[in-house]
């Protein structure tokens, strides 16, 4: 494994749509070691060979049963020692929300957490997913440190979205959702961006319909977390605000061993 690893995470809002907007130019330009994608909205059989296996990368895919919905994928230039996309759990499986890879120094989880905004049933599902994912990651943490990246679909604190007061009762900023993020951090998972930047105004998602990105009226709902054991290995963590192609932008983490 390289002594320095740079990992990126991006909700691409459809890999086929992102491909038409220059995603693979970005991929080959950045040359990040590991790239976790969320909301791929595709089954492997619907994609071209170059999309599934771009030059220089292995890929791992988890697709929802329902076509055109959810889905995660990882492109990696570093071969993992282990990969898994199903966990014998009806809540965690079925919607293609998790890709787990094992590397020499850590377990890596790329996750597309559910959106709770479609009504009470989906909010309940989101909270149950949160609970079961925490139990899953804690099991793996007993064996090796953890990296978690992805679209968590919740802004943690008031500085993580542009209009906190107006969104107190909106899914993605409800107290019960924020409490899970708080408890995750208290359990020893570090929000790496906040290691380096404590300021407001830094977001990863903007509503496209209202043109919110141009006004930077956004939410920070995409994260890189590391377990406490990896804190000393974190060198940088940042948001690629200027990268276009989705309603989200990439977030990036650099580790050194």
Q: Which are the catalytic amino acids?
A: 151
Distances in whole angstroms, Cα of residue 208 to Cα of each of 22, 123, 215, 226, 253: 18, 23, 11, 30, 26
Sequence-distant (6+) residues with CB within 8 A of 27 are: 35, 54, 57, 75
Largest CA distance in the chain: 46
Q: Which of 232, 225, 229 is nearest to 7 (CA)?
A: 225
Interior angle at CA 134, CA 116 and CA 13, nearest 5: 45
Distances in whole angstroms, Cα of residue 256 to Cα of each of 93, 156, 224, 227: 32, 27, 15, 15
Tell me whether strands 34-38 and 4-11 are parallel, antiparallel or unpaired. Answer: parallel
- Does residue 104 sit in helix, strand or coil? coil
């Amino acid at each position: 494994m390289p002594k320095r690893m740079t990992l990126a995470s991006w909700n691409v809002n459809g890999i086929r749509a992102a491909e038409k907007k220059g995603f693979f130019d970005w991929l080959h330009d950045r040359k990040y070691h590991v790239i976790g994608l969320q909301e791929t909205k595709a089954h492997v059989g619907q994609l071209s060979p170059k999309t599934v296996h771009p030059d220089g990368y292995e890929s791992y895919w988890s697709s929802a049963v329902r076509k055109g919905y959810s889905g995660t994928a990882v492109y990696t230039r570093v071969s993992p020692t282990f990969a898994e996309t199903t966990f014998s759990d009806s809540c965690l499986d079925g919607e293609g929300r998790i890709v787990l890879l094992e590397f020499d120094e850590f377990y890596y989880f790329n996750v597309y957490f559910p959106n709770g905004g479609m009504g009470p049933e989906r909010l309940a599902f989101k909270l149950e997913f949160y609970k079961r994912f925490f139990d899953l990651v804690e099991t793996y943490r007993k064996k090796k440190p953890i990296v978690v990246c992805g679209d968590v679909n919740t802004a943690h604190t008031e500085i993580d979205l542009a209009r906190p007061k107006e969104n107190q009762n909106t899914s993605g900023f409800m107290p019960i959702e924020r409490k899970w993020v708080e408890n995750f951090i208290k359990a020893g998972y570090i929000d790496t961006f906040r290691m380096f930047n404590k300021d407001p105004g830094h977001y990863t998602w903007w509503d496209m319909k209202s043109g919110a990105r141009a006004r930077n009226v956004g939410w920070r709902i995409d994260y890189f977390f590391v377990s406490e054991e990896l804190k000393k290995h974190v060198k940088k963590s940042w948001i690629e605000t200027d990268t276009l192609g989705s309603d989200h932008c990439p977030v990036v983490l650099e580790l050194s061993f």
